Amino acid sequence: MRPAVDREAYGRSAARLAVLGLFLAVAGCRTTTPPPLIPPFTPLPTPKPTPPPTPPKPLPPKAPKTTGKLEVPRLKEWRYIVIHHSGTDSGSAKKFDQFHRNVKHWDSLGYHFVIGNGHGSRDGEIEVGPRWVAQQHGAHTATSGNAYNNYGIGICMVGNFDAKAPTPAQMQAITDLVAYLQDRCKISNRNIKLHRDCKDTRCPGRKFTKEMLLARLPNRASGPSFWSRDSLLLNWLK
């Protein structure tokens, strides 16, 4: 008879276990949160937009090598650069200084700078005159009102450019000097003048043109730039 009792007991135990299991399953449903199958969505951090690379600022033109003092602490209010040739085959600042004192009876060399051609001074040598050192007006382009002498930096290139073009070293020197003076004195390309632009003369000869110089300058635009003294903005504000 034992097996019948056991079967009965077994049946009861199984029923209890089933009830318990059901209870636990229901209770479990209520209390346990199943782990999420897909992890919660975390948005990726938005990458910061990379700013476009800033173009490097153009460096100011390097001061050219000169004979005499080019860097002066205080500048006169210069508005023009006036270019001349000497009309002679040779020359130097000293030679022209003597001529201007002794023959013209001026107090010193009329130009602010002289650029040599290898005859009388070195080829491409930039000599600084006393008028630049003292920031004194020039004596090179007399006109009514004298604007070019009062506000013009006078540069004389040695040579007769009606007969012969400037040497490559002279062209390099005038380019470097003009670019430097433009930057320091804020002079636009428009205010770079040849002597013949200011009065009735052939100086500085037909083999030197303004275009030859402008083509070599870092700031090739021929109009006044915003910073120049004769710029449209400044004129409008006046």
- Please, which residue, 137 or 195, has the CB nearer to Zn ion? 195
Smallest gap from Cβ 191 to Zn ion, in A, equals 17
**For residue 229, how far is the Cα from the chain centroid?**
18
- Please, which residue, 84 or 100, has the CB nearer to Zn ion? 84
Smallest gap from Cβ 231 to Zn ion, in A, equals 27
Smallest gap from Cβ 150 to Zn ion, in A, equals 16
Partnered with residue 113 across adjacent β-strands are 128, 155
Taking alpha carbons only, the member of 181, 193, 173 closest to residue 219 is: 181
Report whether 155 contacts 82 (CB < 8 A). Answer: yes
- Please, which residue, 187 or 194, has the CB nearer to Zn ion? 194
Smallest gap from Cβ 54 to Zn ion, in A, equals 44
How far is 20 from 71, CA to CA, in rounded Å? 102
Partnered with residue 80 across adjacent β-strands are 152
- Please, which residue, 156 or 186, has the CB nearer to Zn ion? 156
Structure tokens at 194: 């040849």
- Please, which residue, 63 or 212, has the CB nearer to Zn ion? 212
- Please, which residue, 84 or 112, has the CB nearer to Zn ion? 84
Binding site for Zn ion (CB under 5 A): 84, 195, 203
Smallest gap from Cβ 50 to Zn ion, in A, equals 55
- Please, which residue, 146 or 219, has the CB nearer to Zn ion? 146
Smallest gap from Cβ 224 to Zn ion, in A, equals 24
How far is 221 from 217, CA to CA, in rounded Å? 9
The string of DSSP letters for 166-230 reads: PPHHHHHHHHHHHHHHHHHHT--GGGEEEHHHHSS--TT-TT--HHHHHTTSS----SPPTTSTT
Residues with Cβ < 8 Å from 179, sequence gap 6 or more? 61, 217, 218, 219
Residue found by looking up tokens 């003076």 in the block: 181
Smallest gap from Cβ 194 to Zn ion, in A, equals 8
Q: How many CB atoms lie within 10 A of CB 190?
A: 15
